[in-house]
Amino acid sequence: MGRVRTPRDVARRPPVPGGELATIPALARLLPFARPALPRLAVGLLSALGASLAALAIPRVLQRIVDGPLADGVRAGGLNTLWGPVGLVLLLGLAEAGLILARRTLVMFPANDVEADLRMTLFRHLQDLPIAFHDRWPGGQLLSRSMSDLGLLRRWLVFGQIQLVVSCVTVVVGMTLLVTSTGWLGLVYLAGAAPVSVIAFRFARRFRVVSRRAQDQAGDLATTVEESVHGIRVLKAFGRGSDALASFTGQAERLRTTELAKARAQASFNVTLTLIPELTLAACLVVGALQVHGGHLTIGALTGFFATVAVMGGSVVDLGMTLSMTLNARTAVDRYFDVLTTPNPLTDPDRPTAPPSAPGGAHVRLRDVTFRYDDATRPVLEHVDLDLPAGTTTALVGLTGSGKSTLAMLIPRLFDATAGTVELDGIDVRHLRRADVRRAVAVAFEDPTLFSASVRENVLLGIDDDTEDGGPGADGTGTRHDAILEEALDVAQAGFARHLPHGVETRIGEEGLSLSGGQRQRLALARAIAAHPRVLVLDDPLSALDVATEEAVTARLRDVLRTTTTLVIAHRPSTVALADRVAVLQDGRITAVGTHSELLATDAHYRYVISSLEDDAAQHGIGTLTPPEPALDDSARDGQRDAQHDDEATGARL
Amino acid sequence: MTSADPGDRLTRTESRAVRARSLTLLRDLLRPHTRLLTGSAALVVTATAGQVAGPALVAATIDHAIPALDQGNSRPLLVYGVLLVVAATAAGLANGAYVRAAATISQAVLLDLRRRVFRQTQRLSLEFHETYTSGRIISRQTSDLEALRELLDGGLTGVVANLLTMTFTGVGLALLDWRSAVVLAAAMAPAWLLTRWFQRRSQVFYRRQRTASARLIVQFVETMTGMRAVQAFRREAHTEREYGRYATAYRDANLDTFSLNGRYQPGLVLIGNLTVAAALAYGGWRVLHGYLAIGVLVAALLYVKRFFAPIQQIGMFYNSFQSATAALEKLSGLLAEEPTVVEPARPVPLPAARGDLRLDQVTFRYPRGPVVLPDLDLHIPAGQTVALVGTTGAGKSTLAKLVTRFYDATSGAVLLDDVDVRDLAGADLRRNVVMVTQEAYLFSGSVRENIALGRPGATQAEIEAAARAVGAHHFILAMPEGYDTDVNKRGGRVSAGQRQLLSFARAFLADPAVLVLDEATSSLDIPGERLVQRGLKTLLAGRTAIIIAHRLSTVAGADRVLVMERGRVVEDGTPTELITAAGRYARLHAAWQDSLV
């Protein structure tokens, strides 16, 4: 729900290469994509030209007939002389229709292929771009580029570009015909049409600006729609639907204003585009009649003139339409390339180091790491040194907003450190392929994202599905993947999934069954475990779990973590209990590393962050950290497992 | 896909009903613009008349003015010349005015429809949103609306223009030479058949295209929203394949419509050209036999040619009409959805509630689901802070959702100050009852705007006070632009704990009589939670509160604890009472105590 809505996209947009290009070079950036389609496009263009030439030729033939057999009249006995030209008209008519059919068929496929190709290229690029990019760009802007802008482009490719060339050629050929066949009359018409091109040029400049604004605003509107749906629960909880509607309306009103400005520009252009040629035509009529009267022109030539002008007049009006279409397409191309040419600062190295393949946990090391968000002034992390020996579990503890999650995101290289290095078994993660880093490192995010897919697919997300048998989604029959799935669900206490309507094949996520926060968190945890990574990054993985479930998860997790290097972000002592050692992050620096009890005894900040019993933390904290006994007896636990028909599973995610 | 989303294959009756629904929507949208529509139709008539006058004047000049000129009379030439200027000017100006009028109508209709869809999405119950994905709503609001826009811009009235041109041209031709008009009339039969063929097939194709486009958008939105997970789990190749599949389906759907249209249009051209040839042959024969003046033939041929120019336009219009109707089918489907939680027809006013809550024999089951609350009787006196404790699935969240009326009880009643919540106006209910949930969604905009969501129009001082009360003030000030900092997309730069603090501040600002906290503190760190606890003491004083929390630290301050299991309250008492009672709560409490340090 945007309230004060400055043109976000415009403001945030990086300086655009090509933003100042002329329309033709701007559109020429499409060439690499259009190359395979060029031959067909060219033939299509020829067909279109042929069709319009046929259309132009028909009046000429009519002129012949009027001047020839008909003027000679009955005395020539010329019924036979009539059939020839009639046959010609028929042929031309067939040719026109045939060529139009050919053009459409020829252009249709490549144009749609180009669009699909552009769309896939954009999608690939977006997936390649780092999270930082996605944090910055509103979703609606990306969506509007991928759908409406490319849709505009498709229509331009199918109709616009060819129409543009054809209209221009028609006008030029028509003019030439007029001038050569009717001399002065043609020149008069030509003189009248000249100002149109100047006006068209000025129109183009004005229109382009408005067109860009309209498309940007449409993208912002899409963003607002997206947010209003994703945030529907908040809007409902506070009863702010009408406020959201009001602000959406304001935004839509602004878009309407822009669109109306666009229409006004189009309207005045249309007026000049019809008025000037038509007025010239009136002059030509008078001049032509006088010329016929003076014997300088035949009636047939005058008829031919007007027939040609009739055909051309259509093209002139079309030119107005196709010009604005071209300008819209150009804006679409600009907007598209804004994203496509955004350089990716987080890429695979040119010569990637082979990933270390030692079994078991990897040794993770952060050396003098500083991290600052692109648009921030102060770094979030400063000179962080953190050593995570292979196979150990380290809890990262710090106040909310101290940079814990940011630090965690550096390990799977979702972000790159601004300075310093993150190493995996001694290798800088930037020297490894991203896929290799992320195969080694699995993350459970604090916001568990589940996809519209089955529980199985969601949990087995991090497993390469290159193996044919038992890949995620396949009806694996007791394969390795099934075992992994079972284990992961067990460890994460996500057994509820088996009792969903279709068991682990139940579709969840946005398009499926809604799950509660705790359930989603457990599945996200199961997903990270199932990946069997060498390094596991858990971002506050137990926050939404109740005490009993948390204990059960903790107990099982400790087994799993034995062979994995783990960094777990913890807000509570119960989560810290998973760890061998604790690192304290304060104001972007690691201020202390040690065991829980050591730190409780020595580190005041740690005590402040982790202890609920502020005052007696010191005394109490010396104690050991044995995993507490489960609070519920077994029968109660079973009862809980059976409670698959719970409110959360059946429906409501709040 | 739910019933709200008609598939591509419908039975004949379904198809008709869906189509009728979408046309009703179109009529409804256009109704307020009847006058402007009439006006623009008049403009179109003027423009068309001016255009049609052209060939007639040319013909008249050739047939009458030139002979008159030969006889030394230049008046007719002058008259026709002036008439042509008048006609051209009228046509040009009317055309410009018409473009503006059409845009005015089109944009007004789009705005109206956008608002309707937006309002409808806000109005629909959560139950609906749980199955209808955000991507589909977005696709309704974007690509479906664009399809409609093409129709409206391409000229709903433009078709009137073209039909008029054809009528005028036809009538002009009939007056000029009725025999040529008969040739023309004969040509209408194949044109009609072709159009019928096109109509039948395009209906199916455009429906398919709309569905394909929606699927593509859904996939796109989901991937972009979940980009972190996509990248972290190296799903790029997989999602690319999936997306590629939908993109191909979309391309094919587009190709189908293009190729259909690509046969329809040249078909019309062919019919037109054949007619011209026929008219020429017939007319030429008659000229040769002296039955027809040359000028008349020239004009007749021009008329025939002109007659078929708009038929192409009409073909294009019809094409966009079919596309728009398919989009309207989807849009009207969304608009036809009825919320399961409905506003009362005659609401009972409740300006300021005391906060007395009563659940009277409440049963609840999710649609097609099992019973969650079998039979619940509960009274929460005004001002009491109640903590709900129990395992996942005990029905705690359901209770919260009934009290806040996100859902309605299957039977029984939820009463606020002895008024059934179903009898309260939405505004009254939401002012008095506010819920804070685990998922603290932030909208793009500043921190200030996000807090002010709790009470639009709150002053800066009030906003700061709320932030202070929950302990968020400090970190907000530490942000680059303080309260004006943009939280960015999905609050990317704010940690989960900070987001929860911000949503707490919202609730603080909203100042309701009843506050429901559903796992609202789960991501807070301990100091943060402590601050919130402290804030809660002030916030909850004199307020009714229902707190659902896994952390018993939040529960400790409650006046009363309800332990729920399988939809029933199994323990009910003050925290101290329950601890001494040595029941479930006592066990939970002991475990929690152990987990502390």
Chain B contact for A549, CB < 8 A?
yes
Eight-class DSSP state of A147 = I
Q: Which of residues 517-546 of B touch A (CB under 8 A)?
A: 518-519, 522-528, 530
- Check pLDDT > 60 for residue A628: no
Kindly state whether A401 is in contact with chain B, defined as any CB-CB distance less than 8 angstroms.
yes
Q: What is the pLDDT of residues B483-538, one digit of tens each?
A: 988 887 444 478 888 888 898 899 889 889 999 998 887 778 888 777 777 777 77
Kindly tell me if the per-residue pLDDT of A71 is higher than 60. Answer: yes
Mean pLDDT of B168-173: 85
CATH number at residue A504: 3.40.50.300
In the sheet with B514-518, reading across from the earlier edge strand, the strands are B433-437, B514-518, B544-548, B385-389, B560-565, B568-573
Shortest distance between the Cα of B497 and any Cα of chain A, in A, equals: 6
ipTM of the assembly?
0.86
Burial class (CB in 10 A: 0-12, 13-18, 19+), A389: middle
A540 touches chain B (CB under 8 A): yes
Residue B351 lies in a domain: no
Q: Is residue A526 part of a domain?
A: yes
Residues A438 and A559 in one domain: yes
Q: What is the pLDDT of residues A239-253, one digit of tens each?
A: 888 889 999 999 999
- Asked if residue B121 belongs to a domain, the reply is yes
Q: Are residues A245 and A371 in the same domain?
A: no
φ/ψ (deg, to 5) at A521: -65, -40
pLDDT reported for residue A78: 60
User: What is the predicted pLDDT for the residue at B219?
Assistant: 92
Q: What is the pLDDT of residues A427-442, one digit of tens each?
A: 999 999 999 999 999 9
Q: Are residues A423 and A507 in the same domain?
A: yes
Q: Is A300 found in the same domain as A237?
A: yes
From the list A401, A368, A369, A509, the residue with the least C-alpha distance to A449 is A509
Q: Is residue A313 part of a domain?
A: yes
Instruction: Mark whether A330 and A369 lie in a shared domain.
Output: no
- Is pLDDT above 70 for B347? yes
- In this complex, the residue of A86, A144, A279 whose CB is nearest that of residue B284 is A86
Q: Are residues B366 and B330 in the same domain?
A: no
Average pLDDT over residues B388-409: 87
H or E segment and range at residue A31 = helix A31-34
DSSP string, A73-97: GGGGTTHHHHHHHHHHHHHHHHHHH
Considering the domain architecture, whether residues B316 and B364 belong to the same structural domain is answered as: no
User: What is the bridge-based pairing of β-strands A441-444 and A535-539?
Assistant: parallel
| pLDDT band per the 50, 70, 90 thresholds, residue B151 | confident
Q: Does B67 touch chain A (CB under 8 A)?
A: no
Instruction: Encode A328-357 in three state secondary structure.
Output: HHHHHHHHHHHHHCCCCCCCCCCCCCCCCC
Decide if B588 and A631 are in contact by the 8 Å CB cutoff. yes
Query: Residue B420 falls within a domain, yes or no?
Result: yes
Angle, helix A79-128 to helix B178-225, in steps of 10 degrees: 10
Q: How many CB pairs under 8 A join A and B?
A: 600
Taking all residues of chain A, what is their mean pLDDT, rounded to a whole number? Answer: 81
Residues B320 and B382 in one domain: no
Is the Cβ of B213 closer than 8 Å to some Cβ of chain A? yes
Same domain, B376 and B496: yes
Residue A75: pLDDT above 80?
no
B114–A127 C-beta distance less than 8 A: no
Most confident of the following: B446-450, B587-591, B592-596: B446-450
Query: Quick check: is B2 in a domain?
Result: no
What pLDDT, on a 0 to 100 scale, did the predictor assign at position B155? 65
Considering only CB atoms, A652 lies closest to which of B93, B126, B213, namely B126
The residue among B336, B366, B396 that closes a domain is B336
Separation CA A1–CA A482 (nearest Å): 43
Angle between helices B34-60 and B156-176 in degrees, nearest 10: 30
Summarize chain B as % helix, strand, coil (round to 5). Answer: 65, 10, 20
Residues B532-566 have pLDDT tens digits of 777 777 778 888 999 988 777 777 788 999 999 88
* Structural domain range at position B550: 357-595
Choose among A74, A218, A404: nearest Cβ to B288.
Answer: A74
A386, pLDDT greater than 90 = yes
**How many domains does chain A divide into?**
2
pLDDT at residue A394 greater than cutoff 90: yes
Q: What is the pLDDT of residue A10?
A: 39
CATH number of the domain to which B230 belongs = 1.20.1560.10
Q: Measuring CA to CA, which residue among A333, A418, A375 is closest to residue A11?
A: A375
Residue from B299, B303, B302, B307 nearest B269 by CA: B307
Question: How close does chain B come to A595, measured CA to CA in Å?
Answer: 14
Query: Are residues A281 and A428 part of one domain?
Result: no
Residue A599 included in any domain: yes
Question: Given CB atoms, is A451 within the 8 Å cutoff of chain B?
Answer: yes
In this structure, are strands A364-371 and A419-424 parallel, antiparallel, or unpaired?
A: antiparallel
Q: Which residue of A has its CA nearest to B426?
A: A239
pLDDT, tens only, B3-60:
334 455 677 788 888 889 999 999 999 999 999 988 888 888 888 778 777 777 887 8
Banded model confidence at residue A638, pLDDT cuts 50, 70, 90: very low
| Sign of the dihedral through C-alpha A504, A507, A509, A513 | negative
Same domain, yes or no: A145 and A180: yes
- Average pLDDT, integer, range B388-402: 86
CATH number at A53 reads 1.20.1560.10
Residues B431 and B576 in one domain: yes
Q: Is A171 part of a structural domain of the chain?
A: yes
Token pair in block for residue B376 = 């619940």
Residues B316, B377, single domain; the answer is no
Q: What is the pLDDT of residue B158?
A: 67
Quick: pLDDT tens for A342-366: 999 999 999 998 887 777 888 999 9
Portion of chain A with pLDDT greater than 70, in percent:
85
For chain A, say whether B142 makes contact (Cβ under 8 Å): yes
Which of A305, A340, A375 represents a domain boundary (last residue)? A340
Per residue in A501-519, pLDDT (tens digit) is: 888 998 887 766 778 778 8
SS3 content of chain A, % helix, strand, coil (to 5): 65, 10, 25
* Measured distance CA(A645)–CA(B369) in Å, rounded: 8
- Residue A500: which pLDDT band, with cuts at 50, 70 and 90? confident
CA distance B50 to A271: 13
Most confident range (mean pLDDT) of A39-43, B5-9, B303-307 is: A39-43
For residue B481, the tally of other CB atoms under 10 A from its CB is 11
Does position A632 have pLDDT exceeding 70, yes or no? Answer: no
Q: Supply the DSSP string of A476-492, one letter for each residue.
A: -SS-HHHHHHHHHHHHT
User: How many domains does the structure of chain B reveal?
Assistant: 2
**Higher pLDDT among residues A128 and A15, named by residue:** A128
Q: Confirm whether B279 is domain-assigned.
A: yes
> How high is the pLDDT of residue A415?
92
Does residue B365 sit in the same domain as residue B273? Answer: no
Comparing C-alpha atoms, which of B227, B245, B216, B238 is closest to residue A128?
A: B227
A245 within domain boundaries? yes
A647 to chain B, any CB pair closer than 8 A? The answer is yes
Q: Which residue has the tokens 């029933």?
A: B568
Do B131 and B263 lie in one domain? The reply is: yes
**Distance (Å) from the alpha carbon of A15 to chain B's nearest alpha carbon:** 20
Instruction: Give the domain-ending residue among A340, A374, A392.
Output: A340
pLDDT of residue A551: 81
- B306 and B403 housed in the same domain: no
A49 residue type, one letter: L
Is A128 in the same domain as A186?
A: yes
Kindly report, residue by residue over A180-225, the tens digit of the pLDDT. Answer: 877 778 888 888 777 887 888 888 888 989 999 999 999 999 999 9
> Is A17 within a domain?
no
Separate counts of helices (H) and strands (E) for chain A: 26, 10
Nearest to B479 by CA among B509, B446, B511: B446
Is B280 among the domain residues? Answer: yes
Residue A417 pLDDT greater than 90, yes or no:
yes
Q: Are residues A233 and A370 in the same domain?
A: no
Segment A120-143 shows an average pLDDT of 91
The encoded tokens of residue A561 equal 């973590």
Please indicate, yes or no, whether residues B143 and B65 belong to a single structural domain of this protein.
yes
Residues B466 and B380 in one domain: yes
Mutate to test the interface with B, among A238, A262, A348 (most CBs of B within 10 A): A238
* CB–CB contact B445 A2 (8 Å): yes
* Per-residue pLDDT at A639 exceeds 60: no
- A521 — contact with chain B (CB < 8 Å)? no
Contacts of B230 in chain A (CB under 8 A): 127
Query: Contact B270/A574, CB-based, under 8 Å?
Result: no
Together in a domain, A263 and A381? no
Between A628 and B102, name the one with better pLDDT: B102
Using alpha carbons only, give the angle B499, B505, B511 rounded to the nearest 5 degrees: 145
Where do we find the tokens 């089918």?
A: B329
Among B10-14, B202-206, B299-303, top mean pLDDT goes to B202-206
d(CA B72, CA B70): 5
Give pairs for A318-323: CB < 8 Å, separation 24+: A318/A163, A318/A167, A319/A164, A319/A167, A319/A168, A319/A171, A319/A200, A319/A273, A320/A200, A320/A266, A320/A269, A320/A270, A320/A273, A321/A163, A322/A159, A322/A160, A322/A163, A322/A164, A322/A167, A323/A164, A323/A200, A323/A203, A323/A204, A323/A269
A555-590 as b/e, with b when 16 or more CB fall inside 10 Å? bbbbebbeebbbbbbbbbbbbbbbbebbbbbbebbb
Residue B344 lies in a domain: no
Pick A580 or A626 by higher pLDDT.
Answer: A580
Tally of CB atoms within 10 A around B120: 18
Going along A498-580, which residue ranges are E strands? 535-539, 565-570
Q: Of A55-59, A148-152, B68-72, B322-326, which range is least confident? A: A55-59
Determine contact: A420 vs chain B, CB below 8 A. Answer: no
Q: Is A586 helix (H, G, I), strand (E, B) or coil?
A: strand
Indicate which of B407, B432, B508, B526 best probes the interface with A, i.e. most A CBs within 10 Å of its own CB.
B526
pLDDT of residue B157: 62
Query: Any idea what the CATH number is for the domain that residue B431 is in?
Result: 3.40.50.300
Check pLDDT > 90 for residue A466: no
pLDDT at B205: 93
The mean pLDDT of B183-200, rounded to a whole number, is 90
Q: What percent of chain A has pLDDT over 90?
A: 33
Transcribe A598-611 into DSSP letters: HHHHH-HHHHHHH-
The pLDDT assigned to A478 comes to 56
Q: Which pLDDT value is given to residue A79?
A: 67
In the predicted model, is pLDDT for residue B356 greater than 70?
Answer: yes
Q: Is A441 helix (H, G, I), strand (E, B) or coil?
A: strand
| Residue-number span of the structural domain to which A155 is assigned | 38-340
> Would the CA dihedral through A344, A350, A354, A356 be positive or negative?
negative
Q: Domain end: B336, B365, B393, which one?
A: B336
Residue B348 falls within a domain, yes or no? no
How high is the mean pLDDT of chain B?
86
Would you say A259 and A212 are in contact if contact means Cβ atoms under 8 Å apart?
A: no
Q: Report, as an integer, the average pLDDT of A300-315.
A: 77
CA–CA separation, A189 and A172 (whole Å) = 12
Q: Are B81 and B158 in the same domain?
A: yes
pLDDT in tens, B418-459: 999 999 998 889 889 999 887 788 888 889 999 998 888 899
**Residues contacting B73, CB < 8 A, separation 6+:** none
**pLDDT of residue A6 exceeding 70:** no
Interface of B with A in 568-587 (CB under 8 A): 587
Please tell me whether residues A110 and A217 are part of one structural domain.
yes
The answer for residues whose C-beta is within 8 angstroms of residue A345's C-beta and 6 or more apart is A130, A132, A416
E strand or H helix at B39: helix B34-60
CB contact under 8 A, B111 and A414: no
- Of the three residues B304, B336, B368, the one that is the final residue of a domain is B336
**A387 with A256, same domain?**
no
The pLDDT of residue A649 is above 50? no
* A612: three-class secondary structure by DSSP: coil
**Phi and psi of B495, rounded to 5°?**
-75, 165
Partner residue opposite B309 with nearest CB, options A253, A314, A621: A314
